Each structure stands twice: as C-alpha cells, then as structure tokens.
Amino acid sequence: MKVLIADDEQSIVATLEDDLADAGHDVLAAPDGNRALDIIRKEKVDCLITDLSMPGMGGMTLIEEARKLRPGLQIIVITGYGTIESAVEAIKKGAAEYVQKPFLNEQIVALVDRLAKISQLEEENEDLRTQLQEITAFENIVGASKAMQDVFRILKNVSRSESDILLIGETGTGKEVMARAIHAHSPRKNKPLVTLSCAAIPSTLLEDELFGHERGAYTDARDRKIGRFERAHHGTFFLDDIDDMPLETQVKLLRILQEREFERLGGEKTIQVDVRVIVATKIDLRTLVDEGRFREDLFFRLNVVPVRLPPLRERKGDIPLLAKHFISKYAGSRSYEIKPDVMAAMEAYYWPGNVRELEHAIERAIAFAGQGRILRKEHLVEASPVHKKAMAVPRNLTTLREAVEAAEKEHIEEILRITNGHKAQAAEILGISRKNLWEKMKNYGIEVS
C-alpha cells in the first residue's frame, strides 16, 4: 500500500514511517492537512493515517476532502483527544479505523496490513465482476457456430472501445439483441441505452424523435421535448434501420456523429452530448450510395467498424440450439420434442426471416401442440412452394466465403510445395507480403516442415 501519514508530531511520524516501510509499504508524510491533501491530489495514495488536530486544515476536513478525491481511500484516524462523538463523526465521513494515542506502532502496522488485504479482495472482486460481465454479455446470445463465434470475438474487442459500430444483417438476424449486448459489455453499461427504428417512425416525425423540439417549434408543440440523442447522454444510442432514413435527416445525423452536437427543432442553443452510437442496416449501404439514396460521406463515417451478422442459413449447427432455447422460453412447465427428421427439415430450410422466424415458428408449434408433446413439421416449417424448394436444398452445400477460403488454402499449400516451403518466394508468387502469407498460414493451420 502507498500510505500517507498526516500528523504534526514528528516523533510519531518518524517511528511509524520506519515500521510501515519495514512491513513493505511505501510511506509518505505531511505535517498538516493542507500538504496532505496536495499529496493526495498528486499521488495515488491507498491509505491515509491522520491526526484530527493539526495546523491549518483539521483531520475531519481532510478526511472529507480526501474521500472526494479518492472514494476508495482507506483511512485510519489517530488522535490524543478522542471522544465517542469524534469517533462516530470520523466513521461517518469515511474512516475505517479510529485509534487513540498513545498506541503501539505494531497495532497500526497490523491495521494497515488488514486494510491492504481488504483492498486487494475488493479489487479481485471487481476484476471478477468485470470478467463475469464480459463472459455473460454475449453468452446470453445463442450461437455455437463458427460464424457466430467470429462475430462474438469481434464484438468483445470493439465493445470496450468508444468507436461507433455499424451492424449489417438481414431482417431477423438479431441486430438489436447484439446492440444491447455491446452496451452491456461496454464502459457505458451503467448508463442509458436508448433505441429508435427509422422504419417505425414516419419520416416527417423522425427528426423530432431524434433531436426533440422547443415549445412553439410548430403548431402542436406545447412543451419542450427531449429527443432520443439527448436522452442517451453518457450512454449508448442504437439507431436501427438507418437504410430507411431520409436524405435530409442524414445530413443532421452526420453532424452529430462528427461533432456530437445538435439543436432541438425550433431552438438556437447548441446541445452537446456524450454518446456512443450503434447503427444497424438490413441493406448494403454501399448499394444505396450507388443508387443515390444514401449520403457517401455518412457511409464512410459509419463504415469505420462494420460488423456483419450472418443469416441463420449460414449458422451451421445453431438451429437445434436455438430451437431448444425458444422451447424453454415458450413451453412453461411442459416439455416438448422435435423429431430428428423434422429437425433435419428445419436445418435444410432457408429461413428467410432468420432467428425471428424460427422463434415465431417454435411459438406457433407449441400453441398448436395442444396436450401433445411432439412439435409437428407443418407448424415449424411452412409448406409453401417456395419453402418446399428451400427444404430440398442439400445440407452439405457451403457458403461462398467457405468455398473461397478452401480454395485459397489449397492454392497456398500448392505454392508452398512448389517452392519447397520457401515463404519469401511463395509470397512473391502469390502477390502478397510475407506478413500476409504468415497470417494466412496461421489462420488456415498450414505448417511447413
């Protein structure tokens, strides 16, 4: 512990300083409260040992001011003029221990050692609490497939930053669920998470929802309204379906993303906000830019940290897990079963509505099951001609990304065989840097003897 002794009796300070140093603590000293407070401002002091009666600032005031600067500071009061009232007051102001003079130095050393152990346990508990939050923030989202594990890995890293995030995914892939997990995993987790879907608000009202308005801004504006951005101050704002945002609103959104400031409708006062923005789109924004339906400067501002959420058809092995999860959600106290042939049909199905469609299918099948416990195929997978075609798709087909990766791995291995494992020559033939080749070999598990 870094210990500060605040006392004007030099004989006490000198001997106590030596004994605490011998016990392994880093010790500082101040002859009065004012100089002690200056040290606390400059140094990360863990424990304050203070007299109550000193020149200048007294001990009670020092305790109060020190706790404002260092809320977790451990404090021991030593005094020769102790009363029950002063002891109670010191404890109320934040002192952990109260010792009357004269005392044995061994007593103070033992108290400091005990407080050091308490501080260490508190730090360990906080570390464990943080680790637990990091573990559970994304474990609440069901997904064991490689596609989802890749997403979790990316989001766990970017969640800790202050960067804005662009979530890209088809309808029903769980963009809002991911946004909530990012917020829960971020330093802003104890602050508000405010959400808004551009698709759910008429374009004429969208700016009013985003930025709010002043009284009299328009005919029906009888009172001031606080917008969603302002409500998210110090927290996170999740803006869904940004592909539905009108071009004129995009201009104002770009400003708030760049400057973190705006004016309410009908207002002149510039309002600054500290907010982390997560944006979601169901359509490739680059396509909308090419079509003139989305501002290119806004696209580049949003595309700094893009995260693609895979559709359910690319999440191999996740459908049984998700089905089990939704059965437990809607079954109540009853138990239900999905036969293997039905599960095979579900895994072969295209799921255009993704996880949301699967959830509704499970809920529907349970509703139609009545007193039975077997969930039937016709209730889980709709039998339209389009869906039948989707169900007939072979289950061993790979995604384009998987096919490209397999071909790339095979080609790298072939070039390495031709060059007898000479990485510099192989990289030159492949037209990539040696570092890039090394990264690809590591990702694909390629080893050269």
What does the domain layout of the chain look like in residue ranges? 2-122, 144-308, 315-391, 400-444
Q: What is the distance between the alpha carbons of residues 274 and 235, in angstroms, rounded to a whole number?
A: 7
Whole-number pLDDT of residue 143:
84
Task: Count the Cβ atoms, other than its own, within 10 Å of residue 279.
Answer: 28
The secondary structure of 33-99 as a DSSP string is HHHHHHHHHHS--SEEEEESS-SSS-HHHHHHHHHHH-TT-EEEEEESS--HHHHHHHHHHT-SEEE
Homologous superfamily in CATH for domain 2-122 = Response regulator (3.40.50.2300)
Do the Cβ atoms of 425 and 419 come closer than 8 Å? yes
Does 192 score more than 70 pLDDT?
A: yes
| Collapsed DSSP state (helix, strand, coil) of residue 370 | coil
Share of the chain above pLDDT 70, in %: 92
Mean pLDDT of 55-70: 89
Q: How many CA atoms lie within 13 A of 240 on its CB side?
A: 20
Do the Cβ atoms of 349 and 381 come closer than 8 Å? yes
Band (403; pLDDT cuts 50, 70, 90): confident
Mean pLDDT of 36-44: 91
**Dihedral of alpha carbons 344, 350, 354, 360, sign:** negative
Q: Which fold would CATH assign to domain 400-444?
A: Arc Repressor Mutant, subunit A (1.10.10)
Do the Cβ atoms of 76 and 102 come closer than 8 Å? no
Whole-number pLDDT of residue 135:
43
Do the Cβ atoms of 36 and 70 come closer than 8 Å? no
Whole-number pLDDT of residue 177:
92
Same fold, 2-122 and 400-444: no
Which tokens belong to 135?
């573990």
> What is the value of pTM for the model shown?
0.58
**82-90 CB contacts, 8 Å cutoff, 24+ apart:** 82/52, 86/52, 86/60, 89/60, 90/52, 90/59, 90/60, 90/63
Does 127 score more than 70 pLDDT?
A: no
Q: What is the distance between the alpha carbons of residues 414 and 427, in angstroms, rounded to a whole number?
A: 12
Do the Cβ atoms of 181 and 136 come closer than 8 Å? no
Q: What is the distance between the alpha carbons of residues 158 and 289, in angstroms, rounded to a whole number?
A: 26
Mean pLDDT of 195-218: 89
Task: Count the Cβ atoms, other than its own, within 10 Å of residue 248.
Answer: 10
Band (84; pLDDT cuts 50, 70, 90): confident
Determine which helix (DSSP H) or strand (DSSP E) holds 236, and give its type and residue range. strand 236-240
Does 94 score more than 90 pLDDT?
A: no
The number of angstroms, rounded, from the C-alpha of 435 to the middle of its chain's C-alpha atoms is 31
β pairing state of 74-79 and 97-100: parallel
Mean pLDDT of 239-263: 93
Class of 315-391 per CATH?
Answer: mainly alpha
Weakest mean pLDDT among 78-87, 193-202, 351-360 = 78-87
In the numeric block, the tokens 């101040």 are attached to 30
Share of the chain above pLDDT 90, in %: 52
Does 122 score more than 90 pLDDT?
A: no
Whole-number pLDDT of residue 291:
92
Does 132 score more than 70 pLDDT?
A: no
Whole-number pLDDT of residue 128:
59
Please choose, from the candidates 49, 50, 59, 4, the residue with its C-alpha nearest in 3D space to the C-alpha of residue 28: 4
What are 156-173's pLDDT values in tens digits? 888 888 999 999 999 999
Class of 144-308 per CATH?
Answer: alpha beta
Q: How far is CA 432 from each of CA 400, 440, 448, rounded to the nearest angstrom?
A: 22, 10, 18
Average pLDDT, the chain: 87
